[in-house]
Structure 1
Amino acid sequence: MNVATDMSLWSLVLQASPLVKAVLVILLLASIASWVVIFSKRRLMKSTVKEMEWFEDRFWSGGNVRDIYEEIHRHDDHPEGMPALFKSGYEELRRQRNQVDVTSVDVVPSVQRAMRVTLSRELERLESGLAFLATVGSISPYVGLFGTVWGIMSAFIGLGDVRQASLSMVAPGIAEALIATAMGLFAAIPAVVAYNLFSNRLDFIEKRFETFMEEMAGIVERGVTAANPVKRERAPRKPEPSEPVRTAPEL
């Protein structure tokens, strides 16, 4: 077997020490698992944003919140994302309205708490897998570096009994050791990039969720106050010319 064949990538991997091979296998499995998480998380984020945009268009098209609630149930028995926030808020509103002498002081905090609990669950669902990507991105270079250090150390130890060392004798050992570093970077870089992209996307979704919760609470407060007036409300603010005109649903 000639030197060029011995220095091929596959030959270097096969000739590596058992510990370096174990490091390469661990990094390969981590890379495969991170790509599985990346594709599944990308699909989840995309479907969440699509569902959010559909619901916002429907919600601000006017009508009645009960009609929106029934339409959500027809669309999905177990809604997720922003429809889930609305569902939990509306169901809490309906429970509160069945009580006697209900005021906005009692209803609005209850609706907000119900939506906040759902928000926590939705964020937990969306955040699942991000910790794994962060772990792979942070420790993979160090795992690869460990394999590199071990491989280089083994290569130089093997020269201890040699009187006249040459580069051709130590080059294969160093090359196979550096493969571990390359494998660590191969596993870490996509995980870090995906983690940052998904984190930014999650922040965007969370802000949209929180904005909707505030808008929903305002609609509930105005509806309950109108049904049980205690004081005259101020006229609603007219939208600025650059703001889109939206029609809030009625309770």
Structure 2
Amino acid sequence: MISRLSSLLAALAFAVTLGASPLAQAQDSAASAPAAVEAPASDAAAPAAAAAPAAHKEDNPYGLMAMINHGDMVSKTVLALLAIMSMGSWYILITKLYDTQKLSSEAKDVRVSFFKKASLAEGIKGLKEGSAFRFIAQSGIEASEHHEGALTENIDHASWVSMNVDRAVGEVNTKVQSGLSFLATVGSTSPFIGLFGTVWGILQALTAIGVAGQASIDKVAGPVGEALIMTAIGLGVAVPAVLGYNWLVNRNKGVMGEVRAFAADLHGVLMGNRNVAKR
């Protein structure tokens, strides 16, 4: 009897063991399935997390482009005015540099060849059309050849020629100095224009704080950033204008010294009874 009961219990235990094995395998497969699903999800989330800072960096709400796109009429007007002043300053710097370099090169050629010609007429023919030295030489020769008239007969010949040569030199000097007043104006006013943009930006920040009722960073950062950008742009416009003005003034002094030396030599030749009108 005991042996039968033992055999029955053994058979039941074996049956229970066979039934539990498929259930454990099913639970193990179910537990491993979410892990397999979570792995691709984490892999997909990684690029999105990496792209978020890049997108935030490109869409800076407090930069120059944000100010241009979302700024009011006053800030855009100030920015446009500073841009015009900057472009005008660089245009004058480049053109005046070219003009002074050209005039200096012509002065070297004049020193080498002009006064070695047989006559002033031949010397003038060797100068370029539109040259400042040609203009001065022609003015001196015309004054020397045409000293007549009731109003000029009381002026001696030397004084008349000297007056006309000096007048021609003055016209050349005026042309050389043109544009420098604009550089001086830009250098002296652009910082204050940028400062006006700064004050306006701070006013907008205070207005945003008053409307919101709280001094949160998102209400203050935008207008204050706009104000700082205006200050930087104003200084960026002023510094090249001031440096360029001082540089061009020094260059013009050297070039005009050579022009005045040529005018003095020309006056001496005209007063030396040289053959002026010989062709």
Higher helix share: 2
Structure 2 Cα separation of the partners of residues 63 and 84 of structure 1: 19
Q: CA deviation at 1:29?
A: 1.5
Partner of 1:86: 137
Provide the aligned C-alpha RMSD in A. Answer: 2.7
Write the letter of the residue equivalent to 1:108. Answer: A
Where does the alignment leave 5 or more consecutive residues of structure 2 unmatched? Answer: 1-54, 150-154
Q: Unaligned 5+ residue runs, structure 1?
A: 100-104, 228-248
Structure 1 match to 2:247: 197
Distance 1:53 1:83 in 2: 14
User: Which of 268, 274, 279 matches 1:218?
Assistant: 268
| Count of equivalent residues | 217
Identity, in percent, stands at 29
Normalised to the residue count of structure 2, the TM-score between the two structures is: 0.69
Q: Which has the larger radius of gyration?
A: 2
Q: Deviations over 1:127-173 (max 9, x none)?
A: 22111111111111111100110111110121124444233431221
Tell me the SS of whatever aligns to 1:7.
coil
| Counterpart residue type for residue 258 of structure 2 | R
**Matching residue within 141, 152, 160 for 1:110:** 160
Alignment-mate amino acid for residue 71 of structure 2: A
Residue-by-residue CA offset, 1:103-126 (whole Å, 9 max, x unaligned): xx9332121111111112111212
Per the alignment, residue 229 of structure 2 pairs with: 179
CA 95–12 in structure 1, closer or farther in 2 if over 3 Å, else same: closer
User: Post-superposition shift, 1:24?
Assistant: 0.5
| Paired residues for 1:54-65 under 5 Å | 54-61=109-116, 63-65=118-120
Residue identity opposite 1:180 in structure 2? M
Q: 1:28 aligns with which of 72, 83, 91?
A: 83
Query: Hey, what does 1:125 align to over in structure 2?
Result: 175
Runs of 4+ deviating beyond 4 Å: 1-4
User: Greater relative contact order: 1 or 2 (C-alpha under 8 angstroms, separation 6 or more)?
Assistant: 1
TM-score, normalised on structure 1?
A: 0.76
Shift of 1:219: 2.7
1:138 is aligned to 2:188: yes
